[in-house]
Amino acid sequence: MRSICIFLGANPGSIEAYAQATQEMGRELATRGLTCVYGGSDTGLMKLLADSVLEAGGKVIGVTVQALKDKEIFHPGLTELHVVPTMHDRKALMAELSDGFVALPGGIGTFEEFFEVYTWAKLGFHTKPCGLLNVNNYYAPLDALLDNAEREGFLASSDRNLVIRADNAADMLDRMVKT
C-alpha cells in the first residue's frame, strides 16, 4: 500500500474531535510513508488534512475539476494538483492514484464519493479497502442504515463486510493493510 484517498468535509464540522481526528490521520499517513490523495481544497477538514500530512513530511496529491478550480482556493503546498474536466474523471483519477479509501466526517460529497468506491468494490471493479473513520460516532447512523439494508435483503453480508470501520486513524490504517 502506497497511497490512501481520503474523503472528508470542506467544512470544519461542529466539534473539535473532527479536526483532531483529521490531523491524526494526516500524521499517520505521513509517518507510514503513505501518500495522501484528496480533493485539494484549502478549507475545513480538507485543509487540516493536507497541512498535517505536509507538516509531518508526507506527500499530498490533490485532484479537482476545472469548474471548482476556478471558484475555490486550493492548498498551495500540495505535492501535486491534478485538474480534470469532470467529476467522473476526478473520481476515476482519485481511484487510480489510490490503494485504499477512507471517509472521515463530511457531507453529501463525502458520502457520494465513498459510496461510489464502495459500490465499485462490491461490483469487483477493484479490491481496494474502503473504510469509515467513525469519529465521535459520526457514522453510526450510516452503519445502522447498512445493517438495515442487510436485514431487509438489499445488501449481502459479504458486501456489508467490505466496509472497514475504526474509531481512530492508526487502527483504520492497520486494518486496511491487513485486507
Task: Pull the grid cell for residue 118.
Answer: 464502495
Q: Is the pLDDT of residue 143 over 90?
A: yes
Alpha-carbon span 148 to 168, nearest angstrom: 25
Of all residues in the chain, the percent with pLDDT exceeding 70 is 99
Mean pLDDT across the chain? 95
Q: Is the pLDDT of residue 164 over 90?
A: yes
Q: What is the average per-residue pLDDT within 170-176? A: 97
For position 162, what pLDDT does the model report?
95
For position 107, what pLDDT does the model report?
97
Q: Is the pLDDT of residue 179 over 90?
A: no
Q: Is the pLDDT of residue 72 over 90?
A: no
Q: What is the average per-residue pLDDT within 58-81? A: 87
Q: What is the average per-residue pLDDT within 170-175? A: 98
Instruction: Report the candidate in 168, 158, 164, 160 with the shortest Cα–Cα distance to residue 177.
Output: 164
Q: What is the average per-residue pLDDT within 29-33? A: 97
DSSP string, the chain: --EEEEE--SS--SSHHHHHHHHHHHHHHHHTTPEEEE--BSSHHHHHHHHHHHHTT--EEEEEEHHHHTTS-B-TT-SEEEEESSHHHHHHHHHHH-S-EEE-S--HHHHHHHHHHHHHHHTTS----EEEE-GGGTTHHHHHHHHHHHHTTSS-HHHHTTEEEESSHHHHHHHHHH-
Q: How confident is the model at residue 67 (pLDDT cuts 50, 70, 90)?
A: confident
Give the global pTM: 0.96
Task: Pull the grid cell for residue 151.
Answer: 436485514
Q: What is the average per-residue pLDDT within 7-18? A: 96
Q: Which residues contact 17 (CB under 8 A, 6 or more apart)?
A: 135, 136
Q: How confident is the model at residue 10 (pLDDT cuts 50, 70, 90)?
A: very high
The domains of the chain, with CATH numbers, are 3-178 (3.40.50.450)
Q: Is the pLDDT of residue 20 over 80?
A: yes
Alpha-carbon span 34 to 11, nearest angstrom: 24
Q: What is the average per-residue pLDDT within 46-75? A: 90
- Let me know: does 77 contact 61? Beta carbons within 8 Å: no
> Contacts from 113-120 at CB under 8 Å and sequence distance 24+?
113/7, 114/7, 116/91, 117/5, 117/91, 118/162, 118/163, 120/95
Q: How confident is the model at residue 108 (pLDDT cuts 50, 70, 90)?
A: very high
For position 73, what pLDDT does the model report?
76
